[in-house]
Amino acid sequence: MTDRLALDDFRPRPKLVVPQAGITAPFRKVIDAHNHLGSFGGGWDKRTPVAFFDHLATTQVVHYIDLDGGWGEDILDDRLRRFKEYAPDRYRVFGGVNWGLWAEEGHGFAEASARRFRAQVARGAEGLKIWKPFGLHVTDDTGALARIDDPRLDPIWASAGDLGLPVLIHIADPVAFFDPLTPENERWDELHAHPDWQFPSPPFPSFSDLIEAFGNLVRRHRGTTFIGAHVACYSENLGWVSSLMDECPNLLVDFSARVAELGRQPYSARKFFLRYADRILFGTDAGPDKATYGTYARFLESEDEYFPYSGAPIPGQGRWNIYGLNLPRDVLDKIYFDNAARLFGIPAALGA
Ligand SMILES: [Zn+2]
């Protein structure tokens, strides 16, 4: 018995005695609109389509949206040839932008990227995924950091609008990743474990610069549908997200990988989900993981109090527990299935 306790050794177990709904899976069929098959999705791309879809059949997910295609033409073609061909009605994959070509293509880069995206779509891609290096690492033809709202890139966003396909975009990261790693940092454990996830400014732009530039992008391209990944990348501030959604009907959000954030602000989150019930997409960003689907379902459907959002002994996204939103059935139907079905033209029968 010592009188000092190391943070790593602190594992408090809540002594609350409260009702639990016992929810371990979504109550209905679901579209997972933000996920991966590669390393971010559990490495299912290394296995056969049969193995993947057999596993998926043991979950409530009837359609899986894989955002990995933009990592390279070979990945896109491999996923189309194997996974899409095996189960065309249960799987789709997004294309992407090869930022590495900006240096050599110079002024023609955006038009060429738009052309490449159209070619990806002709082969079978069904959306455009923008990964978070855009704004943090991507450089233009002069070697300068590219701005998210750089007008030179407009042809890319316009091409998605012309094709009627959404742009799913992740910019920045949790706000605390931009703060110094001091004892006040609420993501201390996570940043201590992953020092490369810190984005101190300078050299990186500040979080507010990035998120304001994202707002400008969505505002300027009203004819393009944007899906703001991870609650438009600002789940810590639903007021900010709401303002942008009110201003821009072309903005939808997914809440993948943000149940920890939303579940610690259950009153604000519930209001947000009710108000934007037609514009929120379900997705986990964690592979086709049954335990994760169960946690998301418990968060959306139950009024359970103060439960863990993760199975890890020290929860990765912060040392707190979350609360269920107890959303009404009609709202759950929209978030689990109807919104994504409408956006992507997925038949309602698949969700029955
Ligand atoms: Zn993702």
- Asked whether the predicted pLDDT for residue 338 surpasses 80, the reply is yes
- Does residue 68 have a pLDDT over 90? yes
Strand ordering across the sheet containing 61-66? 30-35, 61-66, 91-93
Confidence of residue 1 (pLDDT cuts 50, 70, 90): low
Contact call for residues 268 and 297 (beta carbons, < 8 A):
no
Structure tokens at 74: 């070979």
What is the Å distance from ligand 1's center to 305 Cα?
A: 27
**With the CA atoms of 65, 69, 70 and 75 taken in that order, what torsion angle do they form, in degrees rounded to the nearest 10?**
160
Q: Which two tokens stand for residue 121?
A: 């779509």
| Distance from Cα 132 to the centre of ligand 1, integer Å | 9
Position 9 pLDDT exceeds 70:
yes
Residue 41 CA, ligand 1 centroid: distance in Å: 8
User: How buried is residue 77: exposed, middle or buried, by Cβ count under 10 Å (0-12/13-18/19+)?
Assistant: middle
DSSP labels, 156-206: HHHHHHHHT--EEE--S--GGGGS--STT-TTHHHHHH-GGG---TTTSPP
User: In whole angstroms, what is the distance from residue 275 CA to residue 255 CA?
Assistant: 15
Does residue 23 carry a pLDDT above 80? yes
Statement: residue 71 has pLDDT above 80: no
| Beta strands in 16-150, from DSSP E residues, in sequence order | 30-35, 61-66, 91-93, 95-96, 128-130
Q: Is residue 284 part of a domain?
A: yes
Residue 14 falls within a domain, yes or no? no
Q: Is 281 a residue whose pLDDT tops 70?
A: yes
Q: Residue 132: what are its φ and ψ, rounded to 5°? A: -65, -15
Q: What's the CA-to-centroid distance between 351 and ligand 1, angstroms?
A: 23
* Spacing, Cα 215 to ligand 1 middle (Å): 20
With respect to residue 12, please indicate whether it lies within any of the assigned structural domains: no
pLDDT at 193 over 70: yes
Q: Work out the number of other CB atoms within 10 angstroms of the CB of residue 14.
A: 11
For ligand 1, the distance from its centroid to the CA atom of residue 219, given in whole angstroms, is: 23
Calculate how far, in angstroms, residue 67's C-alpha sits from the geometric centre of ligand 1: 7
Q: How many domains are contained in the chain? A: 1
Q: What is the pLDDT of residue 67?
A: 98
Tokens of 198: 């810190």
Q: What is the CATH number of the domain that holds 119?
A: 3.20.20.140
List all residues 6 or more positions away from 153 whose beta carbon is below 8 Å from its beta carbon: 110, 113, 146
Distance from the CA of 221 to the center of ligand 1, in angstroms? 23
6 is a domain residue: no
CA of 61 to the centre of ligand 1 (A): 17
Secondary structure of 325-339 as H, E, C letters: CCCCHHHHHHHHHHH
Per-residue model confidence (pLDDT) at position 2:
67
Q: Considering the chain, what percentage of its residues have pLDDT values greater than 90?
A: 95
Domain membership of residue 103 (yes or no) is yes
**Centre of ligand 1 from the C-alpha of residue 348, in Å:** 25
Tell me if 224 sits within 8 A of 254, measured CB to CB. Answer: no
What angle is formed at CA 340 by the lines to CA 130 and CA 167, rounded to 5 degrees?
20
In a domain, 336, yes or no: yes
Q: What is the DSSP string of 60-82?
A: SEEEEEE-GGGG-HHHHHHHIII
Domain housing 72: 24-347
- Has residue 5 been placed in a domain? no
**Do the domain assignments include residue 197?**
yes
Given a cut of 90, whether residue 339 has pLDDT beyond it is: yes
